[in-house]
Amino acid sequence: MAAEEELTPPWKEAWLAFYKNRLALAGLGIVVLFIFIAIIAPWIAPYSYKEQILTERMQPPSSKHWFGTDDFGRDIFTRILYGARISLWVGFFSVLGSVVIGTVLGIVAGYYGRWVDAIISRIFDIMLAFPSILLAIAVVSILGPSLQNALIAIAVINIPNFGRLVRSRVLSVKQEEFIMAARAVGMKDARILFHHILPNSISPVIVQATLAIATAIIEAAALGFLGLGAQPPSPEWGKMLADSKQYLVQAPWTLLFPGIAIMLTVLGFNLMGDGLRDALDPKMKQ
């Protein structure tokens, strides 16, 4: 039995640990559900997300409009479906940009050290000195309000988080004997970095990326709420909340359903991220 356990591939061991975590599986289920909804939205949406039926303004939930209608008579259920596309798109691609740039900077800083590390680390420190949402607002204010610029802003503010994470991991890994052996045989730095150090530093990045997607969705909603993200008539959830806040008493469903969509999506990624952390972090397994 001991020999079989030793031969278990790391990825399979991590999956088994993840599979045993019921909350993590629930989070994965929520995430998969919203991804599926985002993909098939054009085929299951009963209306166009831009369609205005002014004679049906502020209608409560019914068999005709499952989530009711907003102040322009637009079907909220349809806009929630299409909004999933926007939120997931911003979440995935902003974090992807942060991961790529932050990982490269973190690897370079951790591996080469000295003045290179000092410059990159000070840049990270300066960026982290600002509250993330204020830095995002500053970036969008410079670039101009739009969904694409909001995505860029969210990517920028998350770069230091991944950079510092990767840097700390590289500082530890580069002292291992197999790295020293690779240097001794004359292996080039690029090969050492991307064939040896990066694969041994990727686990915490995967966990952080999963949790960062949840944060990115909230930040996109916050920018949309402030009018700095998606612009009308885009059915972005934060923008839907902003457009409906004045109808809280008159038509609470106009805020309730976008809020629930944001909450469930963020909850799903957080639960899945916690499960990945438990599965991939050896210390957590103990």
What is the DSSP-derived secondary structure letter of residue 197? I
Q: Which two tokens stand for residue 202?
A: 């990727």
In terms of Cα–Cα distance, which of 227, 250, 225 is closest to 70? 250
Contact 82, 90 (CB under 8 A): no
* Residue 4 confidence (pLDDT): 46
Task: With a cut of 90, say whether residue 53 has pLDDT above it.
Answer: no
pLDDT band at 216 (very low <50, low <70, confident <90, very high): very high
Q: What percent of the chain has pLDDT over 70?
A: 93
pTM above 0.85, yes or no: yes
Task: With a cut of 90, say whether residue 37 has pLDDT above it.
Answer: yes
CA 214 to chain CA centroid, Å, is: 5
Amino acid, single-letter form, for residue 138: A
In angstroms, what CA-CA distances link 210 with 187, 266, 285? 33, 10, 19
Amino acid, single-letter form, for residue 184: A
Which of the pair, 2 or 262, is modelled with greater confidence? 262
What is the DSSP-derived secondary structure letter of residue 61? S
pLDDT tens-digit map of 271-286: 998 888 877 765 544 4
**Could you give the CA distance from residue 125 to residue 121 in angstroms, rounded to a whole number?**
6
Give the best-scoring range by mean pLDDT among 2-6, 171-175, 182-186: 171-175
Residues whose CB falls within 8 Å of the CB of residue 171, separated by 6 or more in sequence, listed in order: 110
In angstroms, what CA-CA distances link 5 with 8, 12, 146, 200, 277? 5, 11, 52, 21, 21
* Residue 196 confidence (pLDDT): 76
In angstroms, what CA-CA distances link 144 with 1, 139, 191, 223, 229? 61, 8, 40, 12, 9
Count of other CB atoms within 10 angstroms of residue 37: 19
* Residue 197 confidence (pLDDT): 78
Classify 69 as helix, strand or coil: strand
Amino acid, single-letter form, for residue 254: T
- 18-27, 151-160, 193-202, 206-215: range with lowest mean pLDDT: 193-202
Scanning the chain, the segments in alpha helix (DSSP H) are 2-6, 10-19, 22-44, 76-112, 114-128, 132-143, 147-173, 177-184, 189-192, 202-225, 237-244, 253-280, 282-285
